[in-house]
Amino acid sequence: MVHPRTSLQGFQKLVLSLAIKQWGSMSDAQRTLWGTWATTYPQYAKHNPSAQLSGYNCFIRRQVYDLMYFGLDQPALITPEFTSFPLDTCTVVLVQTGTVFKLRPTWVLADETLVCFYFITGPVQDSVNFVGTKPKYIASNYNINDELIITQRWLEVYGDRHMTGNTVIVELQIVGTTNGQVFARSRQRVTFVPS
C-alpha cells in the first residue's frame, strides 16, 4: 500500500475511496445501466485514447469531479441520462480590477447541462514550453456566461501578485451534469487585462 505524502494526495485518495464506495452501494441494475450508458456513448481513457471506458470507469471519473470540487457530501449520479451533449466551446478573459481577479467565460452554447472546472497556471513566459506546466484548480460553474470572482482562490494558490499583463494557461474540464460525459481538457493562453 502506498501512503499519501501530501495532504492533496490524501484528499484525492479519500475522494476516490468515496466514489468507489458509492459505486458499491448501487444495485446491480444501476451498475448495469452505467455499463449500458458507457457502451451507448463511448468515453475514452485520458492517456490511451483507444481504450474505451467501462460503466464503472465512467461513473468513477465523473463522480470524482463532483466530490472533489462540489464537496464530499455530493450524492452519486445513480441513473445517467441517455443523451450525448455537444461539446461547448469557451473563450476566457481574465481581468484584474485593483486587487480583484475575475474570470469571464464566454460560452457558445451557454448550457446548464454541462459544468466547467477551470484550472489555471501561475504566470508563464513566452519562451517557456507550456507542455509541462501544471495548472491548479481555481473555480467551477455551469457553462453559462457568468463572471466568476477568483481572488480568494487565486491568492490561496499563487499568492498576492500583480497580474495585469501576465500570461497564464487556462485549462477547461467540461463534465456532463446528468450523464457520464467528461470531455478532453482544452488549453488556452490568456493574458490578464485591466478592467
Is residue 12 located within the same domain as residue 63?
yes
Domain with 66 in it: 7-70
pLDDT digits over 141-174, tens only? 887 788 999 999 989 888 867 788 888 999 998 8
Position 33 in a domain: yes
82, 76 contact by CB (below 8 A): no
Last residue of a domain, one of 35, 70, 105: 70
pLDDT digits over 100-148, tens only? 999 999 888 877 788 889 999 988 876 666 566 789 999 988 877 889 9
Is residue 96 located within the same domain as residue 23?
no
Amino acid at 117: F
- At a CB cut-off of 8 Å and minimum separation 6, what does 193 contact? 93, 94, 95, 96, 164
Q: What is the pTM of this model?
A: 0.84
Q: How many domains does the chain have?
A: 2
Is residue 24 located within the same domain as residue 111?
no
Cα(183)–Cα(175) distance, rounded to whole angstroms? 6
Is residue 179 located within the same domain as residue 109?
yes
